[in-house]
Amino acid sequence: MDSTNWTQLSGHKGAFVFHSSKILLKKCEPDDNEARIYKSLMGDATMNRFLPKLHKIYNVKKSCFIAIDNLLYGFDNPSIMDIKMGSRTFLEDEVSNDELRADLYEKMIKLDPSVLTDEEKQVKSINKLKYMQLREQLSSSSTLGFRIEAFKTRNLNKSKADLSLVKSKKHVRKVLKKFLPTDRDKLDKILNRLNLIHSSFKCSSFFGSHEVVGSSLLIIYDSCKVNIWMIDFAKTVPLPEGIVINHVSPWVQGNHEDGYLFGLENLINIIKEIKDTVFSV
Ligand code: I3P
């Protein structure tokens, strides 16, 4: 594999540099938090099998890069789906950021102008918290605890712009069905791996002490293989002292709940339903 047949489905443009066919360099933004999280998780024997391997951390001038496994290596023209986990996609710190942004207003106008207030329309800008909360409410993040960010198969290529309004369970099921493999063995492998991530996450001391925001599950399969990885930890942060979360309960300001396991349980159930309908006869 070379950089011409590598695919970045979503996330910040330019965040990746092709290092070799097996290794990618990812720029950690806005600070080196993601590098620290990868480093801790690599030492966690229950969780490290679900992440791309971290090879090295580079600090270049004021930027930090991580050299991680290219998850697409070894797949032949794979189908890929990025699922953003959790019912909350912003950090509690971001709640107090009231900077008004015209770029986010422009993105929201394209998505659904009816959700903007007259005042916001007048100033043609909104703050990031409002934008992120609207994205959660317009998609399935708020109700199901995950949203499909993007996917590609041999015949279909759906970007964030196509999927931002996929909200109801029925709609999510329909989109997942378009993406998922149709053979029983691969569907079973997907369900087994998701269940394993769920049980390991639930028992992990790392995830018992961190909130996980804006992280994704990446499902990849081709005609021979299927696998799922946890990626994107820029907004995975230690919980403040004295705070305990279950990753299932709804968020209210100050409780730090992220809804990761709530989303994972819903995802597993929907894929089970799809499998049951496909193989009901
Ligand atoms: C972006 C998405 C990114 C977020 C970015 C948003 O919205 O939520 O995760 O970056 O914020 O604009 P969308 O998916 O609708 O394009 P962070 O995760 O780094 O906050 P940004 O515009 O401040 O980069």
Rg (CA), the chain: 19
Across all residues in the chain, what is the average pLDDT? Answer: 95
Ligand 1 atom index nearest CA of 132: 8
3-state secondary structure the chain: CCHHHCCCCCCCCCCEEECCCCEEEEEECCCCHHHHHHHHHHCCCCCHHHCCCEEEEEEECCEEEEEEECCCCCCCCCEEEEEEECCCCCCHHHHHCCCEEHHHHHHHHHHCHHHCCHHHHHHCCEEHHHHHHHHHHHCCHHHHCEEEEEEECCCCEECHHHHCCCCCHHHHHHHHHHHCCCCHHHHHHHHHHHHHHHHHHHHCHHHHCEEEECCEEEEEECCCCEEEEEECCCEEEECCCCCCCCCCCCCCCCCCCCCHHHHHHHHHHHHHHHHHHHCCC
Ligand 1 atom index nearest CA of 160: 14
Among protein residues, the one with the nearest Cα to ligand 1's atom 7 is 132
Q: Is ligand 1 within 6 A of the CB of residue 171? A: no
Distance 272 CA to ligand 1 centre (A): 31
- The whole-number average pLDDT for the span 5-16 is 78
Distance 33 CA to ligand 1 centre (A): 17
Distance 104 CA to ligand 1 centre (A): 9
Distance 36 CA to ligand 1 centre (A): 21
pLDDT at 4 over 70: no
Q: Is ligand 1 within 6 A of the CB of residue 86? A: no
Q: Is ligand 1 within 6 A of the CB of residue 19? A: no
Residue of 13, 101, 112, 135 best suited for mutating to test ligand 1, as the one with most atoms within 8 Å of CB: 135
pLDDT tens for each residue of 63-111: 999 999 999 999 999 999 999 999 999 999 999 999 999 999 999 999 9
The model's pTM:
0.96
pLDDT at 281 over 70: no
Q: State which fold the 3-87+145-278 domain adopts.
A: D-amino Acid Aminotransferase; Chain A, domain 1 (3.30.470)
- The whole-number average pLDDT for the span 22-33 is 93
Domain boundaries, the chain: 3-87+145-278, 94-140
pLDDT tens for each residue of 134-175: 999 999 999 999 999 999 999 999 999 999 999 999 999 999
- The whole-number average pLDDT for the span 226-247 is 97
Residue of 27, 101, 107, 108 best suited for mutating to test ligand 1, as the one with most atoms within 8 Å of CB: 107
Q: Is ligand 1 within 6 A of the CB of residue 256? A: no
